Amino acid sequence: MIAHEVVPLPDYVAEVVHGLSSRPKTLPCKLFYDARGSALFEEITRLPEYYPTRVELEILQDNSREIARAMGSPVSIIELGAGTATKTGTLLRAFARRQMRVKYFPVDISPAALAEAKKKIREACPGALVRPVVADFSNGFHFLKSIPGRKLVLYLGSSIGNFDWNDATGMLRKVHEQLSPGDALLLGTDMVKSSEILVPAYDDAQGVTSEFDKNILVRLNRELDGDFHLPSFRHIAEWNPMRSRMEIYLESLLAQVVTLRMAGMEVKFDAGERIHTENSYKYTLQMVESMLCVSGFKLERSWFDRREWFGLHLARV
Ligand code: AVJ
């Protein structure tokens, strides 16, 4: 690197410094999703052990006509964290049968993902009008106000499960604030189930989830000039029944010191010490109902798969 070249510090540096100085150590799970991490997550969704994506798609395929009927039309459909919109085509087709022109607004932080989403929806539902919105949720949901007419907001994949209770209800309340009476939210939630199903979903035999978890360290090595030695850490996935969540960690296999040069930081690890990288909350219907209720929504109807592993919930403003 040329000495006088100015390398901007990533905007997450303060969070990383704070997280790695805390006890227990933590890192924000949003750091998973650089280009490599996003590709690894797509790979996770195709793993035999990772059931949520498949099961949610199955619920959508089996019930999209009924979901469209329950919603009433016409509506504009806004998908938060749309990614590449792999699951949305079937739902848009159901709405297309009931209304003149379906307007679909996929919202994501990744322009690349949105370009892919647009392509996929063009094929799956050629009649739909697709208007991608590049937005970061930390800036609020003001873009919702500028979309005219009745709205259905999709928040699928149990992405809500990454948030603690207060952050989840805070986020849903902010969405609620931008909506009008009659508008609705379709929320996907992973349900509480046996740890024999849950743990392998977050610790697969092929080690893809382990690679996804460690990708945070790869990213910090690259973007903060760090020297994390990957083989000195292992991926851990644990079910915490008290808090109703899967907990993901990286555990240091030995006592070591890691340097993050651009953060001006040395991080000391004991043998067996962990970095908490992610939570993934699992819900009961009662939890979903109260989460929606305290956020201002009224749960109107839920759809499940046969084993009730995953739920889709229609909540009205
Ligand atoms: C994208 C938050 C829904 O919690 O299941 C998958 C992320 N992490 N495997 C989830 C994830 C490890 C995923 N969400």
Which amino acid does the sequence have at 72? Answer: G
Residue nearest to atom 8 of ligand 1 (CA): 202
Torsion angles phi and psi, residue 170, rounded to 5:
-65, -45
Cβ contact 159:189 at 8 Å: no
Beta carbons of 227 and 38 less than 8 angstroms apart = no
280 lines ligand 1 (CB under 6 A): yes
* Per-residue confidence (pLDDT) for residue 113, from 0 to 100: 86
CA of 280 to the centre of ligand 1 (A): 6
The token pair that represents 107 in the structure block: 């919202």
| Residue 150, pLDDT score | 95
- Position 2 scores a pLDDT of 56
d(C-alpha 211, C-alpha 191), whole Å: 25
Ligand 1 touching residue 89 (CB < 6 A): no
Task: Pull the structure tokens for residue 68.
Answer: 């469209």
How far apart CA 54 and CA 115 sit, in angstroms, is: 23
The pLDDT of residue 73 is 72
Report the nearest-CA residue for atom 10 of ligand 1: 280
Task: Round to whole Å and give the CA distance between 317 and 306.
Answer: 28
Closest C-alpha to ligand 1, atom 1? 159
Output phi, psi for 78, to 5 deg: -115, 125
Candidate of 278, 279, 309 to mutate for ligand 1, largest count of ligand atoms within 8 Å of Cβ: 278
Going 165 to 166 to 172 to 176, the CA torsion angle's sign is: positive
- Each residue's pLDDT tens digit in the chain (317 positions)? 556 667 778 889 999 999 999 999 999 999 998 889 989 999 999 999 999 999 999 999 999 999 999 998 789 999 999 988 989 999 999 999 999 899 999 999 888 889 999 999 999 999 899 999 998 888 889 889 889 999 999 999 999 999 999 999 999 999 999 999 999 999 999 999 999 999 999 999 999 999 999 999 999 999 999 999 999 999 999 999 999 999 999 999 999 999 999 999 999 999 999 999 999 999 999 999 999 999 999 999 999 999 999 999 999 99
Instruction: Write down the pLDDT at residue 68.
Output: 95
Residue whose Cα lies nearest atom 14 of ligand 1: it is: 159
Distance CA 299, CA 297 (A): 6
162 lines ligand 1 (CB under 6 A): yes
- Ligand 1 centroid from CA 61, angstroms: 21
- The reply to whether ligand 1 has any atom less than 6 angstroms from the CB of 52 is yes
* pLDDT at residue 109, rounded to an integer: 80
Is the Cβ–Cβ distance between 88 and 115 less than 8 Å? no
Atom number, ligand 1, closest to the C-alpha of residue 201: 9
What is the residue with the minimal CA distance to atom 2 of ligand 1? 159
